[in-house]
Structure 1
Amino acid sequence: MSSNPVTITSYPSGQREQVREMLKEQGIEFILAQFVDIHGAPKVKQVPVDCFDSLVDDGAGFAGAAVWGMGLGPESHDLMARTDIDTYVQLPWIPNVAIANCDLYVKNEIWPYCPRNNLKRMLGVMAEKGLTLNGGFEPEHFLVVQDENGIKPWDPLNLDTLAKPCYDFKGMAQSIDYLQDIIRYGNQMGFGIYQSDHEDANGQYEINFDWSDAVKAADRLVLFRLMSGQIAQKYGAIATFLAKPFEDKTGSGAHLHFHVADAQSGKNLFPLKDGQADWKGLGLSKTAIHYIGGLLKHCRAITAVSSPQINCYRRIQSGEFVYSSNSGYTWTPSFASYGDNNRTQLYRCPSPNRFEDRSPSAMVNPYLLMAAQIAAGLDGIENEIDPGEAICGKNIWNLSVSQRREMGLTLLPQNLMEAVEALEEDEVVKNGLGTIADEFIRLKKAEWGEFMQHVTPWEIKRTLTML
């Protein structure tokens, strides 16, 4: 596996003083030093603002063995979370608190099990080839309430009851204050939120915000999920990013829009240049097409990262009988394809400026996903992988399994173990995850083993008296 170094960042004193002054002007008393574990869950320590210099230079100390996937035991030296000075931001709903993303170190060395460090490593690999990755996530989530009988959509006025509730005003009206808080606070933190809507399931919402570089895009998704959970509590709800909380409703994704750019100029390399032939009829450069070729070649291994929990595979449904939601659609790809502005694709091309990956679950660890995709996409560019003809104007969901296979479409893994086994065999994607790959595979196999020990009510109901 590649061991490309991650550069240790040192900050000019002027930049540090500028951030210190900002914190003082905002009345910040405490700083949350945040990083994510292998699952993408935020971990924090709260530190008095007087310790600002120590957080930047030394970091907040953590027992690494207490965190999933850090590759450390109870005998290991401290995991030091050093704040990235460019990421300090005030939390508008707790105005005396700022939060900052951290990069992880052990014994003063950059720690390779840190998902953020690993993404920076892969961006470094990209930069060596004159390229970089830009993107942005579209997080879907549910607002739910929970009692002794389980969970149900948050619906205090009993207005969110339609079978096809997407964009419905009545369903959304009762959540207007929640959504406005999300937009207001998110934009105060620099998200550039430009849309929010009621999604395809009762109690489900989506927020759209600006593009950025890959690291900032991942940082932003993590902070968005943290914020949503905090604000939902104000309204007596739980914000959940569980991929498929309800059997009869659409699942939640985190669609990723992305393009490859020139590392120096920042110019988007996906659109055709003047005079170039339109190879696949989508107005895309060969760089874009080959990048997608790499993603499609490695899509089964990538699925283990884009859908990292057992529940995520409730979204990825296939078969001769295609299960759907109350609204009529799952909105989730089960076969690997690419093509035009068509939501039945895995990789949808809304315009020559970008692709949309429709597979990621709302539970995705964004740092790991983007690192894995960089590895696969670079393989496509370097080896000029041809993804085949673009599929345009066809509803892939309406095709039979045999028709899709005749078109050369690859079936995505239908459960976590199948995806993990595909990852285990894919050296390119494992290289994208670096040291994290083996730990990820080990943990996911353990999750599958634990899951398989449980007997579900469905099994009892279906087979108790079958024979």
Structure 2
Amino acid sequence: MTTQAHPAADAGQGRIPFQNTPVPETEPSLSERVKADGARFVLATFVDLTGKPCAKLVPAHSVDRLASEGAGFAGYAAGALGQTPTDPEVMAVPDPASYTPLPFVRPGLAMVHCDPYVEGRPWPFAPRVILRTALERLAAAGFTAQVGAEAEYFLVERDGDALSPADPLDRSAQPCYDARALTRMYDHLTGISDAVNSLGWDNYANDHEDANGQFEQNFTHADALTTADRIITFRYLVHAMSEAAGMTATFMPKPFTDRTGTGLHLHMSLWDDNDDPVFPDPADPRGLGLSDTAYGFIAGILRHAPALQSVIAPTVNSYKRTGATSTASGATWAPRTASYGGNDRTHLIRVPDQDRFEVRAVDGAANPYLAMAVLLGAGLDGLDRNLDAGPPGRALDKAPPLPPTLLHAAEALAADDVVRGTLDAADPLARVSGYYGRLKREEFLAWHSQVTPWEIDRYLTAF
């Protein structure tokens, strides 16, 4: 086994240089992958802390240079990356294992996910670096993580500030699983399915979700980093292919006041050094078939749920989803308290079987790298401190409530050493969590300062 590190990485600057995932010597290089596919251009891609995909379009003849030097970006211009206009370039170094051909978007197009570096060192504000660091800590504890994702989204049309489903016939009171609505979106859904399956992700189901215009497309679980990369690629595919069909795709958590919101439910499991699952225990006295390790991990997530919300429900709009009490269909399907239970979708953590659990508080705006990192960090804290998850199926009105707004969640983050420590782990001196928390508070206050139609309706002639 060999490891690939950025050639400029300097071990003499006080920290160990970041290394990409070990790659067998027989694995093809990025250049070999590009040539084998006949790709003409490669999107060298990374995301900022908000999940915005940033990329440079690199021609095939320059891929060797991309692999050896990286692609340079002005970090401040790219987005929320902890930089100012005076800071040096962010160099996006490709991970060949993430190479993904995208001919269904444009002929000859491909994508590769990158790890951002600055002056030869991994950039601690980069979400992919943060997840890698969390996975290193998980490995040190003797575990690896498998993660599956339920990717929900809406297909809409926009007329000024008004949104409506892209399918004008999609207006029934309970549209979930409607075969007719699925058929009307057949071309879009099968196009995405064919693309995903051509990449080897194994799309195994596609359905109409609980809200008008809302869909979900599932693909098989993988290791955490691979699944996070795939979520970013999937969002890109859905946006690009829906735009080509004259529709707008949105992963916004709550685009309609009276309709169900959009989740990014994550199914998580841990495996030991022998590649055996550690969650199952048929003798579980609590009745869910889980081991003490699984319960400790769940307890950590529940204990840190308020601070976790600032990352897994990261927008002002997110709290319109978790704060909803009802929708037109009769249910919200979003958790409001830090509870867990069996195959029960009202809980923050659902346990559908003994092999995994599902975190249902993660929404469509979540940055998958950050979401997985903080969930793993919280779960490990549960194991380290031998926390007790309590009885499964606790009454929802007795479980701790989740933060009602993004501001409350940001305040919970500021008070939570474990979640902050996970965000800061790549370089504690960088204080990533403080920077992230300020972004969230500023986002809330920017929204709060706006005068809305609700206020006009309520106050204009009230006094």
TM > 0.5: yes
Q: What residue in structure 1 maps to residue 201 of structure 2? A: 191
Match of 2:347 in 1: 345
CA drift of 1:15 comes to 3.1
Read off the aligned partner of 1:454 and give its amino acid letter.
Q
- Cα distance in 1 for partners of 2:357, 2:33 equals 37
SS of residue in 2 equivalent to 1:207: strand
CA contact (8 A) 1:348 1:355 kept: yes
Give the Å deviation of 1:335.
Answer: 0.8
Q: Which moved more, 1:185-194 or 1:81-90?
A: 185-194
Give the aligned CA root-mean-square deviation in angstroms: 1.7
Match of 1:325 in 2: 327
Give, in angstroms, the shift of residue 191 of structure 1: 1.8
Counterparts of 1:311 and 1:336 in 2: how far apart (Å)? 19
Q: Deviations over 1:92-139 (max 9, x none)?
A: 312301100000111111111110011000110111111122111111
Paired with 1:38 and 1:223, the residues of 2 have a C-alpha distance of 16
The residue aligned with 2:242 is: 232
CA contact (8 A) 2:33 2:99 kept: no
How far residue 234 of structure 1 moved from its aligned partner, in angstroms, is 2.2
3-state SS of the aligned residue for 2:172? coil
**In 2, distance between residues paired with 1:282 and 1:77?**
52
Are the equivalent residues in 2 in contact too, given 1:424–1:430 (CA < 8 A)? yes
Counterpart-to-counterpart distance in 1, 2:385 and 2:23: 38
Q: What is the alpha-carbon distance in structure 1 between the residues aligned to residue 444 and residue 344 of structure 2?
A: 33
Alpha-carbon distance in structure 2 between the residues aligned to 1:423 and 1:65: 24
Q: Tell me the secondary structure at the aligned position of residue 267 of structure 1.
A: coil
Structure 1 residue 314: Cα displacement: 0.5
Task: Tell me if structure 2 keeps the 8 A contact 1:5–1:121.
Answer: no
Match of 1:413 in 2: 403
Q: Is residue 210 of structure 2 the alignment partner of residue 200 of structure 1?
A: yes
Structure 1 position 239, deviation (Å): 0.5
1:362 maps to what in 2?
A: 364
Which of residues 42, 59, 78 is equivalent to 1:67? 78
Task: Give SS of 1:86's match.
Answer: helix
> Within 5 Å, which residues of 2 pair with 1:452-463?
452-463=448-459
Whole-angstrom distance in 1 between the partners of 2:111 and 2:64: 15
Letter matched to residue 122 of structure 1: A
1:359-409 deviations in whole A, cap 9, x for unaligned? 1110100111111111111110011100110117x7x4xxxxxxx13xxx0
* 1:140 aligned residue (146, 149, 152): 152
TM-score, length-scaled by structure 1: 0.91
Deviation of 1:16 after TM superposition, in Å, equals 4.1
Contact 2:31 2:64 in 1 (8 A): no
Determine if contact 1:80/1:105 at 8 Å carries over to the other structure.
yes
1:82 equivalent to 2:93? Answer: yes
Matched to 2:454, the amino acid is W
Matches of 2:372 and 2:24, distance apart in 1: 29
- Offset at residue 279 of structure 1 (A): 3.6
Deviation at 1:232, TM superposition (A): 0.4
1:245 lines up with 2:245 in the alignment: no
CA contact (8 A) 2:344 2:351 kept: yes
Letter in 2 for 1:446: E
Counterpart in the other structure of 2:274 = 265
Task: Please give the per-residue CA displacement for 1:295-354, whole angstroms capped at 9, x wherever unaligned.
Answer: 000000001111101001110126xxx3x1111011001011111100111100000000
Deviation at 1:6, TM superposition (A): 6.4
Provide the rounded CA distance (Å) in 2 between the counterparts of 1:149 and 1:338.
Answer: 38
- Code of the residue aligned with 1:345 in structure 2: it is H
Is the alpha carbon distance of 1:301 and 1:6 closer, same or farther for their aligned partners in structure 2, counting shifts above 3 Å?
farther
Output the CA distance in 1 between the equivalents of 2:163 and 2:27. 47
Instruction: Tell me the CA shift for residue 68 of structure 1.
Output: 2.3
Partner of 1:26: 37
Residue of structure 2 equivalent to 1:449: 445
1:356-435 matches, within 5 Å, as: 356-391=358-393, 396=396, 404-405=397-398, 409-434=399-424, 435=431
2:129 to 88, 103, 117: 117
Letter of the 2:204 partner, please give it.
Y
Cα offset for 1:188? Answer: 1.2
Q: CA deviation at 1:54?
A: 1.6
Q: What one-letter code is carried by the residue in structure 1 that aligns with 2:253?
A: A
2:187 to 142, 156, 177: 177
CA contact (8 A) 1:6 1:124 kept: no
Instruction: Report which stretch shifted further, 28-37 or 447-456.
Output: 447-456
For 1:5 and 1:202, how far apart are their aligned partners in 2?
A: 50
The aligned counterpart of 2:4 is none
Aligned length: 442
Q: Specify which of 96, 105, 108 is matched with residue 96 of structure 1.
A: 108
Q: CA–CA distance in 2 between the matches of 1:14 and 1:375? A: 33
CA contact (8 A) 2:203 2:219 kept: yes
Tell me, which stretches of 5 or more residues in structure 2 are unaligned?
1-13, 425-430
Could you tell me which amino acid in structure 2 is paired with residue 298 of structure 1? Answer: H
Structure 1 partner of 2:433: 437
- The CA deviation string for residues 409-446 of structure 1, in whole angstroms up to 9 with x for no partner, is 01001100000000010000001111421111011111
Find the residue that maps to 2:54 and give its secondary structure: strand
Give the secondary structure class of the aligned counterpart of 1:335.
coil
Distance between the aligned counterparts of 1:11 and 1:169, measured in 2? 44
Residue identity in the other structure for 1:196: N
- Measure how far apart 1:26 and its partner are: 2.0
Deviations 1:45-102 (A, max 9, x none): 0011111122122100000111222122222111000100111111031230110000
Provide the residue aligned with 1:400 in structure 2.
Answer: none
Distance 1:224 1:436 in 2: 27
Paired letter, 1:437:
S
Corresponding residue for residue 8 of structure 2? none
Aligned partner of 2:345: which letter? R
The two structures have a TM-score, normalised by structure 2, of 0.92
Q: Give, as a single letter, the amino acid of the residue that structure 2 aligns with 1:109.
A: R
Q: What is the identity percentage for the equivalent residue pairs of Structure 1 and Structure 2?
A: 41
1:186 positional shift: 1.0
Q: Secondary structure at the match of 1:414?
A: coil
Amino acid paired to 1:223 = T
- CA distance in 2 between counterparts of 1:176 and 1:5 reads 50
Q: Work out the CA distance in 2 between the residues paired with 1:307 and 1:381.
A: 24
How big is the shift at 1:170? 1.6
| Deviation readout 1:116-167 (Å, 9 max, x if unpaired) | 0110001101111111221111111000011235221101xx3212100000
